[in-house]
């Protein structure tokens, strides 16, 4: 699967702020119409109405024969090749605006049938566009190197597409004939059935129970309230929400297993069809990332799990618990300094924290916050979680949030802002065909923002207790983003390895494997509840995305190195970082990151991150004594 002068941001209507507090603490979720417009996306920036969307949909559909008309020509002469590349860029940019409008609309109201229908139409059109252009890669691969040089000499406009063309040529060993590629493209909607079914089930139809709130009232569990409850000091409440959340997952666990195995089967089948030995290699190949980067991460982390075990021991000791359970791993050890953060306050803090990135970066972020780039609050039937999304063709990137006034929300917002600014600078600098960037580097930009925010807050800490709480924030971040996502990556690796050998796992086996890995990572201090084993079904990234999660860990490690360099070196490091944000996909992600100063093909950034966690553990233990 992102994103102002300080005084201007903190001066808001008292009535508005109090209204938001009511929304975030209400016992039932507000309706979307209850939220002031300034806290919601303005989708009319993309299309003035659904009718305008439908008109553009029809116009793009009418372009399908024009795409097919290039078949048999692009390998024959430079003029047709250039015309095809330009036509592809135009159609893709227009289609992306169709797609983001339908996607954002659907995610703000999963019960809205109009947006659901539009989204389904987009999926179908995506398949048709892919099928219409499926001849292109095989034909481009027919072009000999010497012929390509002649083409570029004849049509210098092809220089702008040279890296893209070379990237296509690199895929030749894993590309089928034109007819076979067309057939695969036509089948692509079928491959999305499991993921789309999971979306509806997980985000709209799970029958979550109610639990007793801290004031004794009945509270219906939701995804957003689950996240917030893990930070609650009332242990009985967070335990009840934690266990209650998994009741519907347990009831439907065989359904989730069938959906997950459907995705595993799709990945393995696609890898085999494309002549890859395994789906991990298939997933990493297009970005030219060696499988050794994935495996080095798992190996280095497994060799250093004692650091996470050490953190588990310290949490149990400070919390004075007889047993440490999964629902005890996020609650603050220092509740006396625990703060609530309204959205408006958080925006002001974030804008101060990103000042080390320079005036241009801050100005762009400020403009986004002031112009409805963020959809802030959790409402009825809104998609859970948070993300950044961009069409690459305007009007700008968008951020989805589900605000609950926690520090976690503050850090999530700056995380998604990092994604948004990455998209903003790439789209501003690169031609459309290079405006996007690999997921491998995406999490670097987001986590760099988090690192800068943490350093800013630590520098502003006025008491020993506040500083300890912020050190704890880093440790929890390392636990959740670095170790946890590596654990997910190891789970994915193991499940697919077994499936390659013909062993597709039952729901019980998936649950046991997930629980066993949780126990291994956290060590003997942890008491792994049965519910934690079920949580593989609750993680959307495992179901929906293709070996995505390891990049959170590599991105976290790279971000620690970059944020330290930016603050120590100043302008030289800032310039390299802004060049990194502006590079898009104009080079392979490993190379883009190397130019920024971090080499993820080596274990060094991984080990440095673990050493940083140990350093903070040393400091926290010393302060506690």
Catalytically active residues are 416
SS3 210: strand
Under a CB-based contact definition with an 8 Å cutoff, are residues 149 and 81 in contact? no
Nearest residue to 357 via CA among 478, 456, 436, 459: 456
Q: What angle do CA 10, 356, 554 make, to 5 degrees?
A: 110
Under a CB-based contact definition with an 8 Å cutoff, are residues 468 and 624 in contact? yes
Task: Return d(Cα 128, Cα 188) in angstroms, integer.
Answer: 10
For 179-215, b where at least 16 C-beta lie within 10 A, e where not — what string? eebbebbeeeeebbebbeebbebbbeebebeebebee
Dig out the tokens for 435 from the structure. 């405006």
Task: Return d(Cα 550, Cα 292) in angstroms, integer.
Answer: 12
Under a CB-based contact definition with an 8 Å cutoff, are residues 451 and 404 in contact? no
Taking the CB of residue 19, how many other CB atoms lie within 10 A of it? 16
Task: Return d(Cα 70, Cα 538) in angstroms, integer.
Answer: 45
Q: What is the dihedral of CA 560, 561, 566, 568, to 10 degrees?
A: 110
Nearest residue to 242 via CA among 516, 538, 541, 542: 538
Residues 6+ positions from 462 with CB-CB distance below 8 Å: none
Under a CB-based contact definition with an 8 Å cutoff, are residues 109 and 140 in contact? no
Q: Phi then psi for 110, rounded to 5 degrees?
A: -70, -10
Task: Return d(Cα 149, Cα 78) in angstroms, integer.
Answer: 10
Nearest residue to 544 via CA among 195, 256, 270: 195
Q: What is the dihedral of CA 171, 176, 177, 181, to 10 degrees?
A: -100
- Residue holding tokens 């795409």? 67
User: Cα–Cα distances in Å, from 440 out to 76, 78, 290, 547, 600?
Assistant: 35, 33, 12, 11, 10
Task: Return d(Cα 132, Cα 128) in angstroms, integer.
Answer: 6
SS3 244: helix
Positive/negative CA dihedral, 200, 389, 544, 223? negative
Task: Return d(Cα 39, Cα 400) in angstroms, integer.
Answer: 11
The DSSP annotation for 539-570 comes to -HHHHHSSS-THHHHHHHHHHHHHHHHHHHH-
Q: What is the dihedral of CA 125, 126, 131, 135, to 10 degrees?
A: 130
Nearest residue to 505 via CA among 518, 517, 492: 492
User: Cα–Cα distances in Å, from 426 out to 142, 369, 399, 406?
Assistant: 31, 19, 17, 31
């Amino acid at each position: 699967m992102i994103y102002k002068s300080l005084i201007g941001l903190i001066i808001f209507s008292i009535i508005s702020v109090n209204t938001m507090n009511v929304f975030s603490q209400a016992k039932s979720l507000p309706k979307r119409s209850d939220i002031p417009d300034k806290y919601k996306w303005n989708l009319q920036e993309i299309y003035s109405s659904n009718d305008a969307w439908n008109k553009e949909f029809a116009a793009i559909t009418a372009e399908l024969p024009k795409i097919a008309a290039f078949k048999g020509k692009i390998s024959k002469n430079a003029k047709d090749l250039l015309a095809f590349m330009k036509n592809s860029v135009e159609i893709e940019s227009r289609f992306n605006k169709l797609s983001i409008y339908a996607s954002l609309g659907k995610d703000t109201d999963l019960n809205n049938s109009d947006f659901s229908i539009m989204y389904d139409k987009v999926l179908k059109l995506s398949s048709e566009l892919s099928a219409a252009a499926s001849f292109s890669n095989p034909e481009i691969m027919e072009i000999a190197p010497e012929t390509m040089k002649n083409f570029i000499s004849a049509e210098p406009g092809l220089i702008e597409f040279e890296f893209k063309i070379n990237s296509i040529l690199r895929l030749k060993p894993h590309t089928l004939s034109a007819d076979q590629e067309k057939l695969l493209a036509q089948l692509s909607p079928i491959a999305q059935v499991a993921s789309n079914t999971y979306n509806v089930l997980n985000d709209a139809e799970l029958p979550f129970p109610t639990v007793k709130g801290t004031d004794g009232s009945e509270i219906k569990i939701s995804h957003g309230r689950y996240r917030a409850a893990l930070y609650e000091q009332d242990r009985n409440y967070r335990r009840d929400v934690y266990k209650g959340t998994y009741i519907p997952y347990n009831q439907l666990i065989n359904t989730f297993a069938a959906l997950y195995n459907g995705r595993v089967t799709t990945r393995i089948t696609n890898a085999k069809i494309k002549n890859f030995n395994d789906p991990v290699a298939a997933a990493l190949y297009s970005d030219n990332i060696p499988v050794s980067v994935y495996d080095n991460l798992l190996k280095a982390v497994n060799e250093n799990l004692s650091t996470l075990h050490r953190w588990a021991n310290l949490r149990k000791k400070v919390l004075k618990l007889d047993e440490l359970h999964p629902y005890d791993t996020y609650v603050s050890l220092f509740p006396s300094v625990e703060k609530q953060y309204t959205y408006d306050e958080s925006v002001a803090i974030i804008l101060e924290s990103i000042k080390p990135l320079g005036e241009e970066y801050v100005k762009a972020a400020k403009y986004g916050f002031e112009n409805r780039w963020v959809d802030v609050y959790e409402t009825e039937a809104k998609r859970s979680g948070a993300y950044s999304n961009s069409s690459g063709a305007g009007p700008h990137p968008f951020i989805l949030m589900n605000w609950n006034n926690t520090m976690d929300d503050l850090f999530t917002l700056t995380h998604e802002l990092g994604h948004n600014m990455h998209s903003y600078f790439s789209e501003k600098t690169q031609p459309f065909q290079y405006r996007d960037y690999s997921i491998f580097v995406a999490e670097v930009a987001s986590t760099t923002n988090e690192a800068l925010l943490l350093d800013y807050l630590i520098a502003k800490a006025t008491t020993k207790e506040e500083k300890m709480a912020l050190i704890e924030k880093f440790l929890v971040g390392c636990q959740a983003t670095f170790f946890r996502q590596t654990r997910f990556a190891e789970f994915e690796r193991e499940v697919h390895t077994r499936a390659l050998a013909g062993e597709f796992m039952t729901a019980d086996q998936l649950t046991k494997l997930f629980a066993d890995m949780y126990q291994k990572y956290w060590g003997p201090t942890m008491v792994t509840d049965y519910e934690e084993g079920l949580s593989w079904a609750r993680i959307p990234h495992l179901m929906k995305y293709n070996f995505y999660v390891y990049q959170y860990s590599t991105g976290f490690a790279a971000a620690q190195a970059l944020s330290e360099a930016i603050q120590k070196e100043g302008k030289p490091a800032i310039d390299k970082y802004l060049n990194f944000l502006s590079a898009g996909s104009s080079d392979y992600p490993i190379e883009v990151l190397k130019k920024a100063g971090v080499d993820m093909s080596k274990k060094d950034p991984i080990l440095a991150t673990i050493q940083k966690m140990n350093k903070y553990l040393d400091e926290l233990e010393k302060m506690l004594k």
